[in-house]
Amino acid sequence: MVAVRVRPTRAADITSTDPASPGPGLRVAEHGSWVRWQMRKARPADESGRFAALHNPAFRKLFVGGLFTFLTMQVAGIARAWLAFELTGSNTGLGGVMLAFGACSIVAVPYGGMISDRFPKRKVLILAGLLQAATPVWLGVAVATGTASYWMLIAASVVQGAVISILAPARLSFISEIVGRESITNAIFLSMSTVQMARVVGPAAAGALIGVALFGLAGVFFAAGVLGALSVILLIGLPSGTPASRSGRSALGDIVDGLRFVRSRPDLMHLLAVSFGVVLVGFPHMAFLPVVAEQVHDSGSTGFGFLNASAAVGAVIGSLSLANLQRRRLRPFQTRSAVAFGVSLVVFAVMPTLYAALAVMAVVGATSSVFQALNNSLLLTMTPVEYHGRVQSLLMLSFSGFAIAALPIGIIADAVGIRATLVGLGILVLLVMAAARLAQPRGLPEETTL
């Protein structure tokens, strides 16, 4: 492994046929059309600004399409949860739907990364997007005709879990190819802002429309399908992306190869371990916001909604405020964001009023979102393009797994109280970062790349 500092790109870099060439938006230039398209569309590496990546027409399409994709997830998720409660009238029924979604996501994530690396990413995004759009339409028809059943919800949740496991690594990898190594950080932060904007708008809109007589639950499902279709339409006209790698290995062989690659890179192992640790012990706080609203601040569902909105708004502000962060500063800010996340979680737990808690929750949302975006950016800049999907899928495992960690944490919260539990989670985040500092590989510069 050789540590290199990426230099400004020249025309010679853009036309290089070296698969590891770090030209803007280009990794593998085997197809002339891809090269010519990138030469027309890629922005110069020295341009900067908080919205710099949006100067790239292709990224603009992905940015808007990503917003539609995440709105589809949010709107369909709210509609599925509501239908589950209508059909079963129990929290167990709702939990079963969530379990089906989460379990399938965990199982499918490694295969999603492999598919992203093996096939042209635009085609992967289109096929997965069509499946994502079709599923809520199917449920909408079932609700409208009075034939909806619980097994349909379980099946739809399984499909949606698998689809997201494919969409996420493919979208992140495609972004890195389109905007180039020097603009990855800016593009990732902007993309993260769409996730948070969808968190603010999606649930509120879905909840309101369910109560509208002329729209109803079926209409919400249909709306989710339309949003998913719009995300697919925006992919039309983009190039297919990096040509598929032909390793000759089986699907399982490609997954094993990705694991071996990560094991051979101490810097990647360290980064993934830090992400797993922080996410597994810190991010489950989101599952207990209803308890904080009801038992701590006596504000019920209204307080719960405000806490979610505050976290999402903070995340949007955090993502946009660091969107023009220079690549050499990614590692320091990753550490600082994780430490700030742990501290803010402790402070949030002891806030005496709802208004104070809302202010601190915005900081919690901002720091957690920044930490997540920095991890994505670092992995993409430190990894060769042929491993982008598989490495990103490993990072996704931590976000799939924190839902499982919420169960034992919930048991602890029932025993010692939610305030003490949240304080403990914040302290654990700080301990993870202290351990990460001690275990950091020596001799690896901040801009380690291949």
pTM higher than the cut 0.85:
no
pLDDT of res. 223: 95
User: 271, 378 in Cβ contact below 8 A?
Assistant: yes
pLDDT band at 361 (very low <50, low <70, confident <90, very high): very high
- Residue 10 pLDDT > 50: no
The class (CATH top level) of 56-246 is: mainly alpha
pLDDT tens sequence across 242-301: 655 556 677 777 888 888 888 889 888 999 999 999 998 998 888 788 888 888 998 876
* Residue 239 phi, psi dihedral angles, 5° rounding: -70, 165
How far apart (Å, rounded) are the C-alpha atoms in residues 229 and 336? 39
Summarize pLDDT for 406-433 with one digit per residue, the tens. 778 888 888 898 999 999 999 999 999 9
Confidence of residue 444 (pLDDT cuts 50, 70, 90): low
Cα–Cα distance, 82 to 140 (Å, whole number): 13
Model pLDDT, residue 256: 84
Radius of gyration of the chain from Cα atoms?
22
d(CA 64, CA 369): 19
Helices then strands, each counted (H, E), the chain? 16, 0
Count Cα neighbours of 226 within 13 Å in the Cβ-side half-sphere: 6
Do 346 and 426 form a contact (C-beta atoms < 8 A)? yes
Q: How many residues would you count in the chain? A: 450
Q: Which whole number is the average pLDDT over 173-198?
A: 81
- Give per-residue pLDDT as tens, 32-91: 344 334 433 444 434 556 777 888 888 889 999 999 999 999 889 888 888 887 888 766
DSSP annotation of 294 reads: I
Question: To 10 degrees, what angle do helices 388-416 and 251-263 make?
Answer: 80
Give the pLDDT confidence score for residue 16 in this predicted structure.
37
- If pLDDT is split at 50, 70 and 90, which confidence band does 133 have? very high
Q: Is the pLDDT of residue 227 over 90?
A: yes
CATH 1.20.1250.20 residue window(s) in the chain: 56-246, 261-450
Strands (E), 32-116: none
Give the percent of the chain with pLDDT over 70.
81
Q: What is the pLDDT of residue 137?
A: 96
Q: 211-223 burial, b if ≥16 CB within 10 A, otherwise e?
A: eeeeebbbbbbbb
pLDDT above 70 for 17: no
Task: Give the residue carrying structure tokens 């307080």.
Answer: 303
pLDDT class for 396, splitting at 50, 70, 90?
confident
CATH code reported for the domain at 261-450: 1.20.1250.20
- pLDDT for position 262: 86
- Tell me the HSE value of 123 on the side-chain side, using a 13 A CA sphere: 10
DSSP string, 374-401: HHHHHHHHHS-GGGHHHHHHHHHHHHHH
The DSSP-derived string for 212-235 is: -TTTHHHHHHHHHHHHHHHHHHTT
Stretch 349-364: mean pLDDT: 95
Are 342 and 415 within 8 A, CB to CB?
no
